[in-house]
A and B are shown apart, each in its own frame.
Chain A
């Protein structure tokens, strides 16, 4: 299985809602990532999990809360979002954490299109 799956594909939520995005991979990868991509812009790194531990938080507001329940799963909990948080949220994984001399490709999921009303 060389696939990263993300659910849901689309999500519409109000500013007072709490929702979660889910990401799953069964490739045995030890690093997982959350990216945010606004329309016509490149992906921007939000969080990095290495061996199930949060290793990088790129100054993301606390209304985004990541969680890595196990080596195959990555969640992004959303609470009190703003309309400007509307974007495509991409999950990715890599065999090893980047920067350890084994830098390689990242495998991306199809993304969750989030709209905040």
Chain B
């Protein structure tokens, strides 16, 4: 069953603007990961943040994690047309039969216009 919910479902911005996507989840996690998927292709791992971390950076990406609110955000700065893709958060559960396995959220479809 899904436990991640992203918002917005779709986001359209101009090149050079920042894009922020949010993810909420329901149960305790070991880590939260963000993936990118170009239309109908495989997923590419972007960044992983562990449950004891609050913020992480990678190039133009900034991820935050608030375990008290069970939420995360992904910020892409100075967006480019090539950033157009779907972005998924995925949580690695801390407990239960599916411990550690990734549960994907519904995704945010980002469109960056030149």
Residues of A within 8 A of B (CB): 4, 6, 41-45, 48, 56, 58, 88, 90, 92, 97-100, 103-111, 113
Q: How far is the CA of A90 from the CA of B45 in the complex (A)?
A: 14
Since A42-B2, A98-B99, A110-B41 are in contact, a sample of 12 more A-B pairs with Cβ atoms closer than 8 Å, ordered by chain A residue number, is A42-B107, A88-B40, A98-B100, A98-B101, A99-B100, A103-B30, A104-B48, A105-B45, A110-B42, A111-B40, A111-B41, A113-B40
Q: How far is the CA of A88 from the CA of B42 in the complex (A)?
A: 9
Task: Report A21 CB to chain B, min CB distance, Å.
Answer: 13
The reply to whether B40 and A56 form a contact with Cβ atoms under 8 Å apart is no
19 contacts between A and B (CB under 8 A): A4-B42, A6-B42, A41-B106, A42-B105, A42-B107, A45-B103, A56-B101, A98-B99, A98-B100, A99-B100, A100-B100, A105-B45, A107-B45, A108-B42, A108-B43, A108-B45, A111-B40, A111-B42, A113-B40
Most buried by B among A43, A56, A97: A43
Task: Report A36 CB to chain B, min CB distance, Å.
Answer: 11
8 A Cβ contacts from B66-106 to A: 88, 92-93, 97-106
Residues of B within 8 A of A111 (CB): 40-42
The reply to whether A103 and B2 form a contact with Cβ atoms under 8 Å apart is no
Residues of B within 8 A of A98 (CB): 92, 99-102
Task: Report A60 CB to chain B, min CB distance, Å.
Answer: 14
Task: Report B112 CB to chain A, min CB distance, Å.
Answer: 19
Residues of A within 8 A of B103 (CB): 45
Q: Which residue of A lies closest to B47 (CB)?
A: A105
